[in-house]
């Protein structure tokens, strides 16, 4: 078994699979069910599905879609997007999803994490946090649903969510999203220093070497979108995933 998980992160918008750059200009890249089936064949560690429209539009989680995804997945599935209540989380878990990602709702009411973790366990809750650098290069908490910086400190918000009961942190570097230029290892390192739970790095992966850099900076797991969706300089759509042997050579195995 690999020491570190390598997780495809699929972005959804209105039921379709999309990819963004720096959280802007979503481009349709295919049918999510087809992507899930391909990842099944490639025996991925875990799959993450994030609906980028659910909170912004106020529509909430697409339960019918989530049911289809969970029914197709042969691997553990994490879902995020539009979850505002314990009841919504319960319905998603009932559909077969192993983990849920909470971000926007926890900013206004961090106790939602406590209630979900209290019923389903901390291992089932991923605290998602988006960080974007301002014009001076300073990392700041970013509200993706609102499309703006938020006043609270990003490290403090992360601590609040883990203290509330989240069992993992998903750190997404907005400026690296879709750019395939490497993770923001400075952010990863800063968060990893004080993290009491596993940290998943997301945003910027363009190669397996980038993944290794994030792991060396302190990430427990690495997630990627463009790396597994696009191929070549013209970003042709091709669903891929590295072989176990390639990951074993680069990332190593647990004892």
* Separation of alpha carbons 230 and 238, rounded Å: 5
Report how far apart, in Å, the C-alpha atoms of 39 and of each of 10, 35, 114, 200, 235 are: 11, 6, 32, 19, 19
- The dihedral formed by the CA atoms of 42, 101, 130 and 17, expressed in degrees to the nearest 10: 50
Active site residue 175: no
Is residue 227 within 8 A of residue 178, CB to CB? The reply is no
Report how far apart, in Å, the C-alpha atoms of 169 and of each of 25, 172, 192, 195, 220 are: 26, 10, 10, 9, 10
Is residue 52 within 8 A of residue 144, CB to CB? The reply is yes
Tell me, what DSSP letter sits at residue 225?
S
Given 45, 51, 130, 184, which residue is catalytic?
130
So which residues are the catalytic ones? 130
């Amino acid at each position: 078994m690999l020491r570190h998980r390598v997780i495809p992160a699929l972005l959804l918008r209105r039921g379709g699979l999309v990819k963004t750059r720096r959280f802007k200009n979503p481009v349709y890249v295919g049918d999510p069910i087809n992507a899930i089936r391909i990842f099944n064949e490639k025996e991925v560690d875990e799959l993450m599905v994030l609906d980028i429209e659910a909170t912004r539009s106020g529509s909430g989680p697409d339960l019918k879609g989530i049911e289809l995804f969970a029914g197709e997945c042969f691997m553990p599935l994490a879902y995020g997007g539009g979850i505002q209540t314990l009841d919504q989380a319960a319905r998603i878990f009932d559909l077969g999803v192993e983990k849920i990602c909470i971000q926007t709702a926890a900013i206004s009411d961090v106790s939602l994490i406590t209630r979900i973790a209290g019923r389903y366990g901390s291992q089932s809750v991923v605290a998602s946090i988006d960080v974007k650098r301002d014009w001076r290069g300073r990392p700041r908490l970013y509200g993706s649903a609102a499309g703006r910086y938020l006043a609270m400190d990003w490290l403090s918000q992360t601590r609040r969510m883990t203290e509330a009961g989240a069992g993992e942190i998903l750190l997404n570097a907005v400026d690296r999203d879709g750019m395939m230029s490497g993770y923001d290892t400075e952010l990863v390192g800063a968060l990893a220093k004080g993290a009491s739970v596993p940290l998943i790095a997301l945003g910027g992966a363009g190669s397996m070497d980038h993944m290794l850099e994030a792991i060396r900076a302190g990430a427990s797991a690495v997630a990627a979108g463009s790396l597994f969706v696009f191929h070549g300089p013209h970003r042709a759509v091709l669903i891929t995933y590295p072989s176990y042997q390639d990951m074993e050579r680069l990332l190593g195995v647990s004892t």
